[in-house]
Amino acid sequence: MQWIVLAIAVLMYLLIVLFPERKSWIALGAALLTILLGVVGPLEAVTELINWNILMIFVGSLVIAELFIYSKVPAAIADEIIDRAPNVGVAMVAILIMTGIISAFVENVATVLVMAPIALALTKKIKIPPTYFMVGLAVMANLQGTATLVGDPPSMIFANFAHYGFNDFFIYHGKPSVFFAVQLGMLVGALFFYRFFSRGGTEKIKVDREEIVSYVPSVLLIFMILGLALASFLQSGVSLLAGLIVLGLACAGLLWYRGFEKKSRATTLHLIRSLDWDTVLFLIGIFIVLGAVTEVGLLDRFAAFLSVLVGHNVLLGFIVIVLVSTLISGFVDNVPYIIIMLPVAAKLSAGLSLQPELYMFGLLIGSCMGGNLTPFGASANVVSVGLLKKQNINLRFADWLKIGIPFTLLTTLASSLFVWIVWR
């Protein structure tokens, strides 16, 4: 049975790599196969393996993100930053930092889509190619998605496995947690881009200010953050309470959108249908498949193999986890990878009598930041390349690597060093 489940998991991975646009159906098909083979039962899959709390937080945060973008508050904040910046270089880096901060609480693709028109208008006004700016939006969004529980699906999966609440991403057991490791990476990334944008000139830029539609979605976003913080105090991990808070706020937002904003039923349904349901289905399938992988003991065998490979060398183990995670995530989806590797990293840490955070934080950082390596390593990257194509700019694979490789190496190294120094 181990060999059968391994074959299903490997085949699923290969098909996802070959046909990424069909990843949800591939994952669901693999999940159905494990159920039909009797590896997991249907009731067990629905009640135990699928993490409904994560799905509630994911869907709820997507709704709030859509409403936040509709409100035009992010665009208005960007206009204010540009207006107050002393010169072009500072303005552009500040926009990238703002993109990252928003992405820590809003889905990465949505963040890129709302910031892209600002970036394109700005580069057009100062007559420079938008390539670096558009790539910068994607990689900074991916970077900061690691920083909080609601930033990205891998962070939610990590939180559930490690029993982390929202607050634990900031301070855990009296030590600065993964949020601060990511911020160090963000500062290094901002300096990296400033090298290019500082050539844009020293003049100030005038902007046509966006008119804010409403502050209600901003209030919902703040309540979501406060609600998750409160849920962290009351219950550990990604709790049912946290899921209900986020989903409840999302429902309130949809009622506001339909009633107070007087949007038609068709418009409201369009907003709901346009959410990232593909990732929701993908997560459901992955939860079941990886549950089967765990039940047949494959993870224990893989952890034992890594233990032999690493021996008693703690630094080698840390480097292997970060480096392998970064490379793999540059080419394949990081969700199934991190679900597989979290228990492996925890077992490896226990075998070396380490705090599990050392290897698990290294895994999370490598898995999320590695997506910046290639133009298809993350959905935000694909969107940025597509938006550039609409501007008649064809960004080749090699062109992305010229930005993606140094950015990924610098930010991953900085964040990993923070984790090593604080958690070793």
Which of residues 20 and 191 earns the better pLDDT score?
191
Instruction: Give the pLDDT of residue 384.
Output: 86
**For residues 105 and 102, what is the distance between their CA atoms, to the nearest angstrom?**
6
Strands annotated E in 182-325:
none
Tokens representing 217 are: 């979605």
Asked if the model's pLDDT at residue 258 lies above 90, the reply is yes
171 three-state secondary structure: strand
Q: Are 310 and 351 in contact (CB under 8 A)?
A: no
Residue 118: in which H helix or E strand, if any?
A: helix 108-125
pTM higher than 0.85:
no
What is the CA 12 to chain-centroid distance, rounded?
22
**Per-residue pLDDT tens for 292-312?**
887 887 767 776 777 777 778
The predicted-structure confidence for 29-76, as pLDDT tens digits, reads as follows: 999 999 999 888 999 888 888 889 888 988 888 898 889 888 888 878
Q: What one-character DSSP code corresponds to residue 148?
A: S
What's the pLDDT tens digit per position in 332-390? 667 777 888 888 888 888 888 888 999 999 999 998 898 898 887 777 887 888 888 87
